[in-house]
């Protein structure tokens, strides 16, 4: 962990967060600057979230690959909980759900931890699907059968399968190219998380500044085409500037990864908005009062992780 690039990355992130916290506190103390007080509060809350995120990630990275895989596994489990809680299920789904939570989700993360790409890449999309279809059919309730099984399937793919590609980045053999061993993989994962967060932020900033044309007003009242383009461009730029932190990339490859992450993050946000709109809730945190919504935090990540993973394989030519 003490190679120069890792230190440089940690220092940049710490400097950025400290500077942002300073600005946030300054704005909070000087409400007369003409800035929207609610926006300042949101900004400060977000910052607090990032400090927590960075601390937890640093602890997990320090503890190693297994700890990081377990951490992501727990996040997946919790997100799936929120997803299924929000989705109406029938009693006939109960047994299938039990196995989904207590067998398929943990076993998938075990396969990720063991670096069995050949199995984990098909385990949930194929075998869990077959199981869920069969188990629900055997339970004997055929009402809205396809709809119910599709919901469970969508939850598994988004919350568990897609998200698990983030810790799977730790298993790609790129360390040798960089000469930094395992810390190169951690930098790659952190690079992805940074880009996802940054893209989310930029989307908001560009929408506020230039937003004119809403992409789908009925689904999201804040996501605009200008926000998407602005976020894609700025994220690609940031990725190109930070290319040295992500081991296998040339600057143009990093920019491509940034572009893809921004677009996929947008896709994740839109998808989750559509589901929430359909269920009539504002965010997953309020569907059961008192719970902070994990799914609200990770929707962009879920969509970006698998694409980032495969882009990395594609442009660098390494095999999992």
Which residues of the shown chain bind other proteins in the complex (CB under 8 A)? 77, 81-82, 84-85, 89, 91, 94-95, 97-98, 101, 287-291
The minimum distance between CB 90 and other proteins, in angstroms, equals: 10
Report yes or no: 220 and 206 within 8 Å, Cβ to Cβ: no
Return the closest-CA partner of residue 132 out of 186, 93, 181.
93
Query: What's the closest the beta carbon of residue 149 comes to other proteins, in angstroms?
Result: 15
Q: How far apart are CA 133 and CA 261, in angstroms?
A: 32
Among the listed residues 275, 200, 209, the one whose alpha carbon sits nearest the alpha carbon of residue 235: 200
Q: Which is nearer to other proteins, 128 or 232 (CB)?
A: 128
- Between 49 and 292, name the residue whose CB sits nearer to other proteins: 292
Judged by beta carbon, residue 290 or residue 317, the one nearer other proteins is: 290
b (16+ CB within 10 A) / e for 107-146: bbbebbbebebeebbebbeeebbebbbebbeeeeeeeeee
Closest approach of other proteins to the CB of residue 136, in Å: 13
- Minimum CB distance to other proteins smaller for 118 or for 147: 147
Q: State the minimum distance, in angstroms, from the CB of residue 89 to other proteins.
A: 7
CB closer to other proteins, 76 vs 253: 76
The smaller minimum CB distance to other proteins, of residues 158 and 305, is found at: 158
Residues 6+ apart with CB under 8 A from 121: none
Q: What is the distance of C-alpha 255 from the center of its chain?
A: 19
CA separation for the pair 215, 223 (Å, rounded): 6
| Least distance in angstroms from the C-beta of 295 to other proteins | 11
Closest separation in Å from C-beta 266 to other proteins = 27
Closer to other proteins by CB, 259 or 287: give it: 287
Least separation in angstroms between residue 289's CB and other proteins is 6
Nearer to other proteins, 148 or 187 (CB): 148
Q: Any bridge partners for residue 164, and if so which?
A: none
Find out whether 216 and 201 touch, Cβ atoms under 8 Å.
no
Bridge partners, 224 (sequence order): 214
Q: Which two tokens stand for residue 250?
A: 């040339």
SS3 assignment, position 224? strand
- The tokens describing 132, both together, are 């869920």
Residue 214 φ then ψ, to 5°: -70, 140
Residues 6+ apart with CB under 8 A from 289: none
Comparison of 240 and 295: residue with beta carbon closer to other proteins: 295
With left for phi above 0 and alpha for psi between -120 and 50, is residue 181 left, alpha or beta? left
Q: How far is the CB of 8 from other proteins (least distance, A)?
A: 40
| Under 8 Å between Cβ of 69 and 112 | yes
- Could you tell me the smallest distance in angstroms from the CB atom of residue 45 to other proteins? 19
């Amino acid at each position: 962990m003490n190679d120069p690039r890792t230190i440089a990355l940690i220092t940049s992130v710490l400097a950025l967060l400290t500077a942002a916290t300073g600005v946030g506190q300054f704005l909070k103390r000087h409400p007369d600057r003409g800035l929207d007080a609610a926006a300042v509060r949101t900004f400060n809350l977000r910052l607090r979230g990032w400090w927590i995120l960075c601390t937890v990630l640093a602890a997990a990275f320090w503890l190693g690959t297994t700890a990081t895989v377990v951490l992501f596994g727990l996040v997946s489990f919790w997100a799936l909980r929120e997803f299924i809680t929000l989705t109406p299920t029938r009693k006939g789904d109960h047994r299938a759900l039990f196995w989904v939570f207590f067998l398929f989700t943990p076993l998938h993360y075990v396969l990720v931890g063991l670096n069995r790409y050949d199995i984990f890449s098909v385990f949930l999309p194929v075998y869990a699907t077959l199981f869920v279809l069969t188990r629900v059919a055997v339970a004997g309730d055929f009402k809205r059968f396809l709809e119910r099984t599709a919901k469970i399937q969508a939850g598994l793919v988004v919350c568990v399968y897609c998200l698990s590609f983030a810790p799977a980045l730790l298993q790609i053999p790129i360390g040798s190219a960089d000469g930094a061993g395992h810390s190169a993989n951690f930098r790659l994962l952190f690079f992805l998380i940074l880009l996802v967060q940054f893209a989310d932020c930029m989307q908001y900033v560009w929408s506020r500044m230039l937003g004119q044309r809403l992409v789908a007003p009925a689904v999201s009242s804040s996501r605009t085409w200008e926000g998407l383009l602005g976020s894609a461009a700025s994220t690609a730029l940031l990725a190109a500037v930070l290319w040295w932190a992500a081991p296998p990339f040339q600057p143009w490859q990093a920019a491509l990864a940034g572009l893809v992450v921004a677009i996929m993050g947008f896709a994740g946000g839109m998808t989750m908005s559509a589901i929430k709109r359909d269920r009539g809730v504002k965010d997953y945190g309020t569907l059961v009062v008192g719970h902070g919504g994990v799914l609200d935090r990770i929707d962009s990540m879920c969509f970006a992780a698998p694409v980032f993973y495969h882009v990395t394989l594609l442009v660098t030519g390494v095999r999992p």
